Amino acid sequence: MSISRRDILKSLTITAVTGSVLRVIPLEAAEYAHRMVKAEKADSQTYVPKFFSAHDYKTLQTLCQTIIPADDEAKGAIEAGAPEFIDLITSENKDYQVALGGGLMWLDNTCLDRYGKFYLECAPAQQKEFLDLIAYTKNAKQDPSLGQGIEFFGFLRKLTADGFFTSEIGIEYLGYIGNTFLKEFPGCPPVPGI
């Protein structure tokens, strides 16, 4: 298991304070964009992608939902708004545009080579077969031509997880109880062994 320094820092006192603050407080611009997205959604009821083409956005949505699907316990990445989150920040970030825009093109082209169809049109079994190849870094050892695809999928998985677990659905799924007013802090509940 790997852990980055950043992970640890994040769970820390001062850095957690500032971290959580700063993670959650956006710049003024973010708020502006927020109002913008909200207003747009209110107008049309559907989100109009800012960066991805209609076809690519559809693929993105499908991939997000495959990464974190709905199940008995909670809805999935689409309901959690992960694709919108990803599209918005991608529209503002040149590196993400290359990584994700290029990644989706790679995906379609490679599927076209293998199955004669774009990813979305592939049969579910073909989609699964293909994802099983690019969802694991170890596969790059056997087939280096998958390297870029694995990189892309890994990045998309991170963003999808971020989008899902910061949503109302995701937070409820995790069982985070907080961000509220307490008169007194009760401390650790009685748990055997702690």
Ligand X SMILES: Cc1cc2nc3c(=O)[nH]c(=O)nc-3n(C[C@H](O)[C@H](O)[C@H](O)COP(=O)(O)OP(=O)(O)OC[C@H]3O[C@@H](n4cnc5c(N)ncnc54)[C@H](O)[C@@H]3O)c2cc1C
Binders of another protein among residues 86 to 105 (CB under 8 A) are: 88-89, 92-93, 96
Which DSSP symbol is given to 138? T
Least distance from ligand X to the Cβ atom of residue 19, Å: 9
Residue 74 to residue 131: CA distance in whole angstroms: 23
Q: Is 19 in the site for another protein (CB under 8 A)?
A: yes
Residue 15 to residue 13: CA distance in whole angstroms: 5
Q: Is 8 in the site for another protein (CB under 8 A)?
A: yes
Q: For 29, phi and psi rounded to 5 degrees?
A: -60, -35
Nearer to another protein, 116 or 191 (CB): 191
Binding test (CB under 8 A) with another protein, winner from 81, 83, 103, 149: 81
Nearer to ligand X, 3 or 14 (CB): 14
Which DSSP symbol is given to 98? I
Residue 188 to residue 30: CA distance in whole angstroms: 35
Q: Is 42 in the site for another protein (CB under 8 A)?
A: no
104: helix, strand or coil? helix
Q: Is 125 in the site for ligand X (CB under 6 A)?
A: no
Contact 179, 166 (CB under 8 A): no
Which of the choices ligand X, another protein, none does residue 119 contact, using the CB cut-off of 5 to 8 A by kind? Answer: none
Binding test (CB under 8 A) with another protein, winner from 17, 39, 48, 98: 17
Residue 180 to residue 171: CA distance in whole angstroms: 14
Binders of another protein among residues 147 to 186 (CB under 8 A) are: 154, 157-159, 161-168, 170-171, 173-186
Q: Enumerate binding residues for ligand X (CB under 6 A).
A: 14, 18
